[in-house]
Structure 1
Amino acid sequence: MDEIDRSHLLAEAKEVPLTLSQVLWEPDKPMTHVYFPSRGIVSLIATGEAQAGLEVAMIGREGMLGIQAVLDCESSPFFARVQSHGRAWQVPTDVFQHHIASHPATKRLLNRYAAFRLHQLANLAQCLQSHNLERRLARWLLMNQDRADSNQCRVTQDVLGSLLGVRRASVTVAAGALQDRGVIAYDRGNLQILDRKALEHAACNCYFGDLDTYAVLFDKHHSRR
């Protein structure tokens, strides 16, 4: 998005706090606003309830919440729940849709983001079927660190189990294996990444597949292991 388009859109936006566990919207209900996080992380939850369901996307400052509005949809099939507190630019959905209708360059950029999100969903389906929990957990931790800009996060094993679609006991085993190798430290919901490079080696290639796709679509560069 060029600076002129960005300034026009932000003129219609309001900066709002993102509070931990806040639900921004529920499935199949009118999506009154879209959000552009500047800090913090929001999870899209596909099943169950907002506080206990499978995570299908993790969104931070690299993306937006409400990509369905780009496709002229009025609702989302997912819960949107704040996973890590922060702030976001909030724009009324009708204002946002009017803006992109009159700014083709912004619309093209957001179409690319929609394509990226479709890739992520397909990648997640393959990941759930093909990769063990330790690799999936390592991928989740890398994605979280990328968006939080911190090697620490506060997350319980119950929450991790829900987000990854497994039992709490399975998270205990997978996190314990990473901790035994000195990759992470985890105690009473306080998780710290000790060795980023080792965590990258532990993760499935789905993590790097997402980075590659994002780089191609948005002409970005990243370092691989």
Structure 2
Amino acid sequence: MASAENQLIQQLPAVVRRRFLTRCEPFELLLSAELSVRDQPLTHAYFPRTGFISLVIDVDSHPPLEVGMVGVESMLGSELVLGLAKTPWRALVQGPGSSWRIGADAFRASLAEIHELQEVVRVSLLVRLHQQALASACERFHMIGPRLARWLLMSQDRARSDTFHLTQEVIALMLGVRRVGVTVAAGVFQGSGIIKYHRGTVTVLDRAALEAEACSCYAADKQIHAELTVHRH
């Protein structure tokens, strides 16, 4: 079966895309791998083809909190278009898969040389900034159940499957809550026949019902994602 492709790379004109990919290398996204460290210079940019990466903030002694998710629709390292080399978050692989990877210096050189690439990356960065602001408001104002539904939908979208692997520990970390809160919320969904959860494996049984349970941030996030599918000339 042909491998999936990153949607940002797909937006590039064919000739430009081929030229850029000669500078990249295939890179496997291994579960729990840390691709960037808080306040450390970015060494590479990543373009997921399958799987997804979570951007996680650590604040004092509080539980880590996810503030962004990067999948096939986006990239990790778009800050490099601004010349920035450090980020306030850690990037953790939460959904294993494959990606294209390019060194930070080579990526900066490509941005300077390829106008179409620069435009795509700038739009990607703008979209992610909107998403991070939305994630912060969601964490502050919405209850665990609707937030869990939203996060499961986002994970399913990027896993491209009704079944995917997520432990309760990971879900709690992503939502910034205690594990018991996840257990209760997930139990409600399972009891309603919306999902099946067993030994770290989630199966979405009723997608429409899960969307109905999700907070409004899921639809808002989808609308933001749609911006990435618009070809800009």
2:137 counterpart SS class: helix
Find the residue that maps to 2:76 and give its secondary structure: coil
How many residues are treated as equivalent by the alignment?
A: 218
Matched, 1:68 2:79: yes
CA distance in 2, matches of 1:218, 1:152: 25
Give me the CA root mean square deviation.
1.6
- Decide whether aligned partners of structure 1 residues 60 and 216 sit closer, same or farther in structure 2, where only a CA change above 3 A counts: closer
SS at match of 1:4: helix
CA contact (8 A) 2:67 2:136 kept: no
1:102 to 105, 113, 117: 113
Per the alignment, residue 56 of structure 1 pairs with 67
CA deviation map 1:99-124 (0-9, x unaligned): 11122222112111111001101111
Return the TM-score normalized by structure 1: 0.92
Instruction: Give the aligned partner of residue 178 of structure 1.
Output: 189
Check the 8 A contact 2:164/2:202 in 1, yes or no. Answer: yes
Residue 20 of structure 2, aligned match among 4, 9, 25: 9
Q: Does 1:87 align with 2:102?
A: no
Shift of 1:148: 0.6
Q: Distance in 2 between matches of 1:163 and 1:21?
A: 13
- Gapped runs of 5+ residues in structure 1? 221-225
The CA distance in 2 between the partners of 1:48 and 1:190, in whole Å, is 29
Contact 1:38 1:89 in 2 (8 A): yes
2:198 paired residue among 187, 197, 206? 187
Indicate how the Cα distance of structure 1 residues 113 and 22 shifts in structure 2: closer, same or farther if over 3 A, else same. Answer: same
Mapped pair 1:146 → 2:165: no
What corresponds to 2:229 in structure 1?
218
1:91 deviation in Å?
0.3
Is 1:128 the counterpart of 2:100? The answer is no
Structure 2, unpaired ranges of 5+: 1-11
After TM superposition, give the deviation of residue 48 of structure 1 in Å: 5.9
Deviation at 1:6, TM superposition (A): 1.4
Secondary structure at the aligned position of 2:51 is classed as strand
Compute the TM-score of the two structures, normalised by the length of structure 2.
0.89
- Give runs of ≥4 in structure 1 deviating > 6 Å: none
Residue 112 of structure 1 pairs with residue 129 of structure 2:
no
* Secondary structure in structure 2 of the residue aligned to 1:87: strand
* Contact 1:66 1:76 survives alignment (8 Å): no
Equivalents in 1 of 2:222, 2:189: separation in Å? 23
Comparing 40-49 and 29-38, the one that deviates more: 40-49
